[in-house]
Structure 1
């Protein structure tokens, strides 16, 4: 197992602090650094900034939103960042959710699986530098009744293929990820419940006649180091409550549904009810401790080192560290402590 750094949304820290974190992660031997986007900063700009200030560490989008860009634009962006970074880009994609897709991008949130499949096929076709033609349910290229012509990417990617990752939560999306992607970007990953998700990935991969050899399982895991486990958990509560309560509507919140499948039905319902009622502090307090403990790395460095073995044994190949709390220097120290914890666990490579 190797380590990565997830910077989250760019607004969560100053520009220089985030660059410093990425540079420190590179110095410590972290494999990659990832950036997210929702309806604030965009991931490609952040990753270009990071790539220009590092030399070896990979840069990845976790995620670039599928409804935000045409597949050809995503392929152009991927090829550009990969070329400018010397072959260090990892393309993470996700459909987002109905509120963002329809409210921010004006794209109907329908047929997400079919859209994702076609999107990835077009992206890969563009990156292969063949002339772009596509006849699908959601995209037809060129448009059949106009002046459009079949074009070819003019940029030469550094590598023959750029790895594609999918953010997936639901069972069918996990199967699709196993079928068509090179890696899985997971959130609220609990080793105790991982077998169900990994079985879905394997089923998808088998249906496509491929194996998961070399497949990258990348959960983003909040990390807070300290002697008081409960106090460490408190630093993760607002983050968890935002997703369980606010990332979606009462009827459709994929993160809340995941918590329910993990056995936290009552807690997930209470968090959502409080959050949607704008009682954000109460919602954070209502997040079950066991949910945080299973999906985060909290407590002493020794406790975390023991837990890293559990993550590795469950099938994680890259553990992406998220830093929900602390000053700039404390966050740097957490990166260092995680590198030490990985060494102590005996699971690093």
Structure 2
């Protein structure tokens, strides 16, 4: 199975660790680093900084929310990173959360599934250097052509529901985030009914031989997902109905954090010694996943997830 790396962007860690995590991934021979976007760096700026501070690792920017970023600005951003760094640069698309889209950006997520599909359709010719000529229900771009060299990027789509899986069928890769192997298998089955050509990547948080701080880091990351549509149902199917029911009472985050058992973390993350983690990787591979993008947990004991990345590279 192919292993790549996603910079963690952990909320309680220094933002600059993202660059260092990418440097460690580069040093240990990982082929690609995924550069997401949260509340700190602009993803294109961060990808450029990583490209200038590493030697050979390929870059994928995103997922970028399609109801915030339009095809022209995405294509120009990807081409900019590729030109400034000299690296292969891919792009990942998604619909993001209501908090990010509606509250942070003040945009509507209405029709986001349609926007996702249409952005893939509009973006592909732009990344290949063609003049834009697309008019859809939610997305349009006409008359723009890259002045920089065409990056001819791979397009990845973050998917969870049926509309996103349909959009992923038009892309090069489908990205699954924080899913159990069983849930990944269900989505991959849906994808294979549409296409056999789209590869599947699972983003999975990882900590080899974790201390308690690493466990708590992952536990904290699960809190917001318990409120997200579909994720509660996934965890309920995995045997955590009581935790999901408690989350739906909207308790204080501190109380919900305390209610999340270690077994829930183990269901969606790579935690344990090297043998245990290899078993988990095998489970994702058996589910149909082609690649795992490791999201290394960063703590004071293992800054930037260096020990985890080193152990998994070996």
TM value normalised by structure 1: 0.81
Q: Where does residue 209 of structure 2 map in the other structure?
A: 226
Aligned-residue offset at 1:332:
0.8
Of the two, which has the highest radius of gyration? Answer: 1
Q: Where does residue 47 of structure 1 map in the other structure?
A: 47
Corresponding residue to 1:171 among 156, 162, 168: 162
Segments of structure 1 that go 5 or more residues without pairing to the other structure are 143-149, 206-210, 341-349
The 3-state SS of whatever aligns with 2:160 is coil
**RMSD, aligned α-carbons:** 2.5
The 3-state SS of whatever aligns with 1:67 is coil
| Change over 3 Å in CA distance of 1:175–1:139 after alignment to 2 | closer
> What is the correspondence of 1:76-155 to structure 2 with a 5 Å cutoff?
76-142=76-142, 150-155=143-148
Q: Deviations over 1:230-273 (max 9, x none)?
A: 9864442111113224xx5xxxx343344345553432231343
Corresponding residue to 2:288 among 308, 311, 315: 315
Q: Where does residue 194 of structure 1 map in the other structure?
A: 184
Greater length-normalized contact order (CA 8 Å, ≥ 6 residues apart): 2
Q: Deviations over 1:272-326 (max 9, x none)?
A: 43xx43x222211222433321211111222112222222222222211123342
> What is the correspondence of 1:209-248 to structure 2 with a 5 Å cutoff?
211-212=196-197, 215-226=198-209, 233-245=215-227
Q: Deviations over 1:150-185 (max 9, x none)?
A: 232211124xx21001111113322331x2111112
Aligned-residue offset at 1:47:
0.9
Segments of structure 2 that go 5 or more residues without pairing to the other structure are none
In 2, the alpha carbon distance for the partners of 1:195 and 1:10 equals 27
TM value normalised by structure 2: 0.89
The 3-state SS of whatever aligns with 1:50 is helix
| Change over 3 Å in CA distance of 1:258–1:107 after alignment to 2 | farther
**Residues 222, 321 of structure 1: 8 Å contact kept:** yes
The 3-state SS of whatever aligns with 2:201 is strand
The 3-state SS of whatever aligns with 2:3 is strand
| Change over 3 Å in CA distance of 1:12–1:60 after alignment to 2 | farther
Corresponding residue to 2:246 among 262, 267, 270: 270
In 2, the alpha carbon distance for the partners of 1:264 and 1:307 equals 19
- Aligned residues between the structures: 313
